[in-house]
Structure 1
Amino acid sequence: MIWFLEGQSSQRDVIAGARAALPERIQIVASHRQSRPEITGLADLALREPQDNEARIAWVIDTARAHGVKVVLAGRVGHVYEAHRADFERAGLVLVTGALSLDTFERVDDKSVFTREASAAGLACIPAITVHTQAELESAYAQLSRDGQVCVKPTRGIYGQGFWRVSEDVDPFRSFANADSHEVNLNVFAQAYGQSEQPKPLLVMPYMPGSECSVDMVCEAGKAVAFVGRRKQGLMQTFERDSDAVELALRAAEHFGCDGIVNVQTRDDASGQPHLLEINLRYSGGIGYTRETGVNLPGIFATRRLNLPQPLGAWRDDVQVKAITVAVSVRGEELLR
């Protein structure tokens, strides 16, 4: 058996990919802290996780042993599970968190540390200045704005939360009138940052005007055994596997020793050269789209970890996809559990 713990909403896509690749005799367990039957309903056994992070550790281990689970994949809070890797190993369980040590989580999750290490390793990375005060923010902006547009983002976070393009020329009210533009006036942003009671460190960086490439991959101790690059083109997403962006992402995953289903993001500069943005030690929200290329990443992960034949795939060129909302029917009693 294999167990997919609470992850992003794409947990459903990961379960579906694994189910398509695994023999029917191999059961899948899925769990979530919330009532999410539209996700866990795809599994053979659906469970509700304890709310407390630490309480989940003993519960997962005990439940896995009781049901004969062999492999446990963490989705969210992978670092919490990684801290207890020895407990899982003593219980005879294969724990997959996205990394093989807590040190990797610290080096990757703190984008300031990640940027410094990636640059030192010779990996093309967007240069950044870490700031903690309004004065440092304004100084960093003055330094970087001489060469072009400037942007900021928190040193820790997901989903691009806290990302803003900063400029002195932006209408002071634009960030309130149209937050989705992610544009903010420098003075408005700097003053608000300076007045924050507990300002969190920020990265101030040159803004790369090119497109982003999100590379989903299955890694084993740093080696990518399968991968697909996704690039947004307006409302559509296209796919690639033989590109400079994908190659950069693979080198980054190897350097940081990624292990599991992970995601590496890059962004092109004005000349089309990719630069590292970040590594997510978990599967991405869009991993389900990659199956349209003929590559079943969740299926490859599940079969290899269970020592089973992995699904055969044939790469499909010139594929484009567009995300749509799909209704999933669930019974009323499932929502009450």
Structure 2
Amino acid sequence: MGLRIWYNRTFSTASHYAEMIRHNADQRQFEIYVTHPKKHSLMLQIADYAELEPSLPVHEYPGYCLDFCKKHRIDIFIPHFGMSEIVKHHAEFASIGTKLLAAGDADLIGLVSDKGKLFSALSALEGITLPDYEVVSTVEEFKEAYHRLKAKGYKVCFKPASGEGGAGFRVIQEARPSIMSLYDTCGPYIHLDEAIRLLSSVPAFPPLMVMEFMKGHEYSIDCLASSSSLLAAVPRKKVEGRVRLLEKNELLIDWAHQIHQVLPLQYNFNIQVIYQGDKPKLLEINPRTSGGLYTSCLTGINFPYLAIKLLLDEEVEVPDPEFGIMATHVEKEMVMKRIFP
């Protein structure tokens, strides 16, 4: 068999990326290794070798990863869970012959993963618009930020300065919920008094970003890059529900190039943008493959496999992307053939 690639704990759509690497245009052979703490994870089903991960404190997790790579002679490790800690041990992985496919070093990953630091780093870029925001760590700071944004006419929301996906995202409401709210679908809403009550329960809390709430069209820009050059950027528009449009949005493609000049992320990474009226504003940058990258691959660019080639210092030819594709997805049944006790 060919090179051994390991996916540690990651989201189920990464199964698409493992298959795209397997079915590459060069017909190169790979062995896919997967670990996950949940025994029913889809990722465990698509692997050539699968194993359950132990439950470990974050500071012990890189040691487990190093031991796994050494034991199984892993050639390429694509970390997701624990990435910020894992990349600090880059040299140790290199010493045992394992290449880390990570978008940057520990400093760059740390900067991009903290939205407050990220926004500060990009604030001087002309043409890149940031939302109105404040980073707070005490309830008094929270209340001041809320009232300042409210006075500007914004609906206000907040989310953790460091976090992944929609975890911790809340939209603040001043009107108290009525009984009919018990019959509505639960949303990310929280009453102002409840937010203040919870935040008042501790002297200080992990940093939150209090910011204007934006509700226009949202885009994910999937990117492929080396540390010196952005090779591809595909804006993926959330049309409605599960419908996505792969759009040749020249402004957002230019944004990706500007951002890469300041933050030289490499391999696969993702930029999230949301429109406020006709003006796009940056939401966050994910230093990893996005959950919906498989849709952007419909442009004809095999993002996961080309990232592998970049990691191996091989020549990469990126086809011109086919834009204007509207796509969606449906669930598909899958028989689980690998059962863990």
TM bracket (short chain)? 0.7 to 0.9
Q: Which residue of 1 aligns with 2:206?
A: 200
Note the aligned Cα RMSD (angstroms).
2.7
In structure 2, which of residues 223, 227, 235 is the aligned counterpart of residue 229 of structure 1?
Answer: 235
Could you say if the C-alpha distance between residues 174 and 305 of structure 1 is closer, same or farther in structure 2, counting changes exceeding 3 Å? farther
Aligned runs of 1:35-74 on 2, under 5 Å? 35=39, 38-52=42-56, 53-65=61-73, 69-74=74-79
Q: Which residue of 2 aligns with 1:19?
A: 22
Q: Does 1:167 align with 2:173?
A: yes
Q: Which residue of 2 aligns with 1:154?
A: 160
Report the CA distance between 1:21 and its aligned residue: 1.1
Q: Which residue of 2 aligns with 1:77?
A: 82
Q: Does 1:217 align with 2:214?
A: no
Report the CA distance between 1:2 and its aligned residue: 4.3
Q: Does 1:87 align with 2:117?
A: no
Q: Which residue of 1 aligns with 2:6?
A: 4
Aligned length: 330
Cα displacement string for residues 19-67 of structure 1 (whole angstroms, at most 9, x for unaligned residues): 12154452232212233563244344444445431332322331353xx
Higher relative contact order (CA 8 A, sep 6+): 1
Instruction: Tell me, yes or no, if the aligned pair for 2:77 and 2:100 is still in contact at 8 Å.
Output: yes
Alpha-carbon distance between aligned partners in 1 of 2:33 and 2:232, rounded to the nearest angstrom: 23
Q: Mind listing any 5+ residue stretches in structure 2 that lack a counterpart?
A: none
Cα displacement string for residues 251-291 of structure 1 (whole angstroms, at most 9, x for unaligned residues): 22342221222111111122x22221111111111111222
In structure 2, which of residues 107, 113, 135 is the aligned counterpart of residue 109 of structure 1?
Answer: 113
Alpha-carbon distance between aligned partners in 1 of 2:180 and 2:149, rounded to the nearest angstrom: 22
SS at match of 2:252: helix
Could you say if the C-alpha distance between residues 114 and 239 of structure 1 is closer, same or farther in structure 2, counting changes exceeding 3 Å? same
SS at match of 1:143: helix
Q: Mind listing any 5+ residue stretches in structure 1 that lack a counterpart?
A: none
Could you say if the C-alpha distance between residues 224 and 4 of structure 1 is closer, same or farther in structure 2, counting changes exceeding 3 Å? farther
Q: Which amino acid counterpart does residue 301 of structure 1 have in structure 2?
A: A
Alpha-carbon distance between aligned partners in 1 of 2:180 and 2:109, rounded to the nearest angstrom: 36
Alpha-carbon distance between aligned partners in 1 of 2:102 and 2:146, rounded to the nearest angstrom: 37
Q: Which amino acid counterpart does residue 285 of structure 1 have in structure 2?
A: G
Instruction: Tell me, yes or no, if the aligned pair for 1:153 and 1:202 is still in contact at 8 Å.
Output: yes
Q: What is the percent sequence identity of the aligned residues?
A: 21
Q: Does 1:131 align with 2:136?
A: yes
SS at match of 2:246: strand
Alpha-carbon distance between aligned partners in 2 of 1:323 and 1:27, rounded to the nearest angstrom: 27
Could you say if the C-alpha distance between residues 290 and 220 of structure 1 is closer, same or farther in structure 2, counting changes exceeding 3 Å? same
Alpha-carbon distance between aligned partners in 2 of 1:59 and 1:207, rounded to the nearest angstrom: 44
Cα displacement string for residues 128-165 of structure 1 (whole angstroms, at most 9, x for unaligned residues): 11122222212111111122221111111112111122
- TM-score, structure 1 normalization: 0.86
Could you say if the C-alpha distance between residues 94 and 318 of structure 1 is closer, same or farther in structure 2, counting changes exceeding 3 Å? same
Report the CA distance between 1:215 and its aligned residue: 1.2
Instruction: Tell me, yes or no, if the aligned pair for 2:245 and 2:325 is still in contact at 8 Å.
Output: yes
Could you say if the C-alpha distance between residues 47 and 71 of structure 1 is closer, same or farther in structure 2, counting changes exceeding 3 Å? same
Alpha-carbon distance between aligned partners in 1 of 2:29 and 2:237, rounded to the nearest angstrom: 34
Report the CA distance between 1:311 and its aligned residue: 7.3
Aligned runs of 1:255-294 on 2, under 5 Å? 255-270=262-277, 272-294=278-300
State which drifts further: 105-114 or 302-311: 302-311
Report the CA distance between 1:105 and its aligned residue: 2.1
Report the CA distance between 1:242 and its aligned residue: 3.5
- TM-score, structure 2 normalization: 0.85
Alpha-carbon distance between aligned partners in 2 of 1:132 and 1:177, rounded to the nearest angstrom: 34
Q: Which residue of 2 aligns with 1:96?
A: 101
Report the CA distance between 1:307 and its aligned residue: 5.3
